[in-house]
Amino acid sequence: MQYLAIIIITFISGVIGTGLGGVIGAVLKRDSNKIVSLLLSFAAGIMLAVVCFDLMSEPIEMMREGKLDWSTPLIVVAAVIVGYGVVYLLNYAIDKRTNHEVKHIDENHPSTADDLDELIHSNHYESHKNNKSNLFVAGLVMMTAIALHNLPEGMVIGASYAITPNIVANLFSGSGFIMAIVIGLHNIPEGMAVSVPLISGGMGKVKAILLTALSGLPTVFGALIGFALGGINEIMLTLSLGFASGAMLYVVFGELLPESILMWKSKLPALSLFIGVLAGFLLVMF
């Protein structure tokens, strides 16, 4: 029953959230960089607050209760570094193999994506839309890039629910539910960025929306992994929370924040981040 509850909540956050973005992209066929920038930085602020004030602090609380020993902070730091490093290296590998194929990206271009199309490599898809022999591979690259974002995001949701007592009764409360909402909101602009190039490449709207929604499915798998590992024992819970936190910190600091600032070069994204951190703190505390 617990796993079913996890699947339902992450399906809504990952698949429905991304699919909703796909619908918006299909209807509008464009997005507003300013709105997306504020949405991403606000979501990043809440993610940062939940990771720092809840996920990474939970093992310390267990240490103070005598369930873990003095080495706990070191284990948390090591797991965070591993989580951050794994997602960084996977993203780096994809960027290295695909960026040179897109004319817009060169030595004079920011090393961090300044558009959602770059972040999920839909620009790579666009560059191959007239070459059917390479179109499938380009689409696979785009879906893989999205999976790299959604899998660790799902792990954060699962790990958060692993520290939630009586999950079924508390499915719509606590840090797990907070992260599910925030990640669902964050998936909307991602879904927009996926559906627009698919449709402009000649794909039907319904098919594009369905594929966009399916790209959020790794969120469910990530949540199941995070929840299963966290339920083994205190050490595995600590490792799961640390790895998921590190992966999410890469998403926040390596993608969402630089991207939101490059999309709208003003102080408002930073203000949106600040508000997001405060909102996340209040959500965790209450």
The answer to whether residue 35 scores a pLDDT higher than 60 is: yes
pLDDT recorded at residue 193: 74
- In sequence order, what are the residues at sequence separation of 6 or more whose Cβ sits closer than 8 angstroms to the Cβ of residue 142? 120, 121, 122, 124, 125, 194
The answer to whether residue 31 scores a pLDDT higher than 60 is: no
User: What 8-state DSSP symbol labels residue 166?
Assistant: S
Average pLDDT estimate for 127-147: 74
Task: Give the least confident one: 10-14, 53-57, 109-113, 236-240.
Answer: 109-113
pLDDT tens-place string over residues 153-169: 898 889 888 887 777 77
End-to-end CA distance of the chain: 26
Q: pTM of the predicted model, to two decimals?
A: 0.82
pLDDT recorded at residue 123: 78
The answer to whether residue 202 scores a pLDDT higher than 70 is: yes
Task: Give the least confident one: 36-40, 116-120, 236-240, 267-271.
Answer: 116-120
The residue with greater pLDDT, 73 or 144, is 73
**In whole numbers, what is the pLDDT of the chain averaged over residues?**
84
* Amino acid occupying residue 285: M
Distance of CA 90 to the CA centre of its chain: 14
* Dist. CA 129–CA 108, nearest whole Å: 25
CA distances to 14, 53, 202, 279 from 284, in Å: 21, 7, 44, 9
Average pLDDT estimate for 24-37: 75
Instruction: Work out how many domains the chain is built from and give that number.
Output: 1
What percent of the chain shows pLDDT beyond 70? 96
- In sequence order, what are the residues at sequence separation of 6 or more whose Cβ sits closer than 8 angstroms to the Cβ of residue 234? 59, 62, 67, 68
Burial 239-270 (b: 16+ CB within 10 A, else e): bbbbbbbbbbbbbbebbbbbbbbbbbeeeebe
pLDDT recorded at residue 120: 76
Please state the three-class secondary structure of 70-104 as a single string.
CCHHHHHHHHHHHHHHHHHHHHHHHHHHHHHHCCC
The answer to whether residue 6 scores a pLDDT higher than 80 is: yes
Q: What range defines the domain where residue 177 resides?
A: 2-285
> Alpha helices, DSSP H only, in 13-131?
17-28, 33-50, 58-64, 72-98, 116-119, 122-127
